[in-house]
Amino acid sequence: MNQPGVLSENGVTPASGKPIPRASFVEAIRQTLSYRDKTLELVDRLYRRYGPVVVVRTAMMPIVSLFGPDANRFVLVDRDEILSAKRAWDLIMGRIFTNGLLLRDGADHRHHRRIMQPAFHASALREYVDRMNPHIGAALDQWQRAGDPLHAFAAFKQLTLELASSIFLGIELGPEVERLNAAFAATVAASMSIVRVRVPGLEFERGLRGREFMIDFFGSLIGGKRAGDAADMFSRLCHAESEDGGRYTDPEIIDHLIFLMMAAHDTTTSTLTSMVYELARHLAWQERAREECRAVAADALDYDELARLGVVDLILRETLRRYPPLSTIPRVSQRAFELGGYEIPANVMVVVYPIHSHHMPEWWTDPYRFDPERFAAGRAEDERHPYLFIPFGGGAHMCIGYRFAELQIKAVMFQLLRRYRWSIPAGYAMPVQQSPISKPKDGLPIRLTRID
């Protein structure tokens, strides 16, 4: 294991140990061309054919796919710091989301995470919820006027961007909202571009232009944020200090904001859209959730009350299982290591898949069925292994804002359920893009009915 592995005709063969099965050329092409839309189908096919470890040869580097909760734990905990998140994510989106928290390793990652952590403590979250609620109510009241049917994904994206702008940036967006929204959409799409050269009109070039717009936009606001004492995320980052008195530089603040804004509104948009779809398919669950929300006297809930929405919580967890916002978690091996009798070489992409772990029939009952009760006390299928249900990752890189995301989703769903019923046409099936972030390819048209 002191020698790095080498590639052979039959797979990745390390210095010792059994060789890793290698996917066929056809399967490698499928992975490259169809991954966005068929992530689960493609990786499950690899798992069924080759087992828990398989290598796919790509133009970028060999990709070693690992399947199952034990593999998830090994990769996400990474006690010996064998694996690099930075090297993996830099290859995928380093030019787009440069130096975001996810794109850091080791002591550097821990340093930046510690500085940022107070912005997600309970006291800050309480304030965020109080500030969100009026925005949510005002936005939802306008939805029926937007036409029928309503395209849920675009409506949620507009709402969550406005919430992120208010809470993270501390500003109310005016004419910039459409351009900022387009910039975020372009950057996320570019992170999965096959052609990664700056050619005008291509997807990757649009992503780079989106990033440049955000650098200029956020950079123009830093001076005022440093001079003020507001409690929004932007201001907190401008004033944050490490234990030794270190502070973020202007470029570091911008890098963190670009990444956090993407995570704060794209992932919540994804989950809210998927929840609405499943509740339109399963009207009994929609009514159960509505009854829970309408039984509360308040028009909006605070931090503590949101945690007590039991039915909504079950639906949220099942939605995150079926449609994890991040389907794939990559790393790059810094040195060779052993796992399950296989020795994984250095300098290969090592990948685990939340979307696959969430659909393994070895662990979940009828995993392709929408069944929120699987998370209820007494069944608790997610507790069969601590790294089986990983919608927010795990270990040192577990999403720092997962509690904020859950609160925002519940706050929106609470007010939505109290105002509207919604449905989809008979026989409709939402066409889903599963990577890089789960979303409907048709925007998810729904029909809203106002509740008096």
d(CA 119, CA 344): 38
| Radius of gyration (C-alpha) of the chain in whole angstroms | 22
Residue 2 pLDDT > 50: no
pLDDT of residue 326: 87
Q: Report helix, strand or coil for 245.
A: coil
Q: Which of 387, 408, 414 is nearest to 120 (CA)?
A: 408
Residue 220 is classified by DSSP as: T
Question: 66 by DSSP, 3-state: which?
Answer: strand
According to the model, what pLDDT value does residue 180 have? 80
Question: How much is the pLDDT for 366?
Answer: 98
Beta partners for 84? 332
d(CA 297, CA 283): 23
Structural domain boundaries of the chain?
6-450
pLDDT digits over 297-321, tens only? Answer: 899 999 999 999 999 999 999 999 9
In the chain, the amino acid numbered 122 is A
Which tokens sit at 2? 């002191």
- At 103-118, the pLDDT tens digits run 999 999 998 998 888 8
Local confidence band at 76 (pLDDT 50, 70, 90 cut-offs): very high
* pTM recorded for the entire structure: 0.90
Query: How far apart, in whole angstroms, are the C-alpha atoms of residue 410 and residue 313?
Result: 8
329: phi then psi, degrees, rounded to nearest 5: -125, 110
For residues 69 and 63, give the distance between their C-alpha atoms in angstroms, rounded to a whole number.
19
Higher per-residue confidence, 15 vs 280: 280
Q: Where are the alpha helices (DSSP H) in 220-342?
A: 222-227, 233-239, 250-281, 283-294, 303-306, 310-322
Per-residue pLDDT, 59:
75
CB 448 within 8 A of CB 277: no
CATH architecture of the domain formed by 6-450: Orthogonal Bundle (1.10)
Q: What pLDDT digit, counting tens, does each position of 395-434 carry?
A: 999 999 999 999 999 999 999 999 999 999 999 999 999 9
Supply the pLDDT for residue 146.
Answer: 57
- For residues 381 and 156, give the distance between their C-alpha atoms in angstroms, rounded to a whole number: 30
Cα 344 from Cα 6, distance rounded (Å): 10
